[in-house]
Homo-oligomer: A and B are copies of this chain.
Amino acid sequence: MSVRVDPAPFDAGAELNRFAAAQTGAGAVVSFTGVVRDVAGGLLEMQIEHYPGMTEKAIAAMVDTALDRFGLTGALVIHRHGVLGPDDPIMMVATAAPHRKDAFAAAEFLMDYLKSRAPFWKKEVTGDGTGWVASKDEDEEALDRWGGA
């Protein structure tokens, strides 16, 4: 298991290769990379606040659950905080399992939980001002398929 909460940029491809090379018995490796999107146009920066201490604990608990529930050979979570620009990678998840179904499900599980249960908050800065990104009902609802909480 590897969890990193860090303001520094990361190289998704290099992380994926390093992660995959460390797996034993995995036939399937899935990665997800989240990128800052300029949805409305005019995004200058994305500020990501987090709750040091709780963030790492919350993510480690999710990863432990995923390792066990999906029989993973390994999992990786990287999440940045601080000031990011449009098209910057925000975070990545990688999962590995003997079979593809489990690797995919675990990556989606981790993403759904990270979105709604890891203490990060996004603030958008545009030429017109700043605003906190609102949580989406669909993100909360996405947790239902995993049996809630």
Contacts and interface: CB of A to CB of B under 8 A. Distances in A.
Tell me the dominant secondary structure on chain A's binding face.
mixed
Contact of A16 (B23, B31, B35): B31
A62 interface: no
A12 to B, nearest CB: 6
A104 B108 contact: yes
Nearest to A32: B30
Interface string A29-64: 111111111000000000000000000000000000
Interface residues of A, number: 30
Identical subunits present: 2
A107 interface: yes
Given A104-B32, A104-B107, A25 B13 contact: no
A15 B20 CA distance: 14
Given A20-B12, A107-B104, A108-B104, A34 B30 contact: no
Interface of A: 11-17, 20, 23, 25-37, 89, 98, 100, 103-104, 107-108, 111
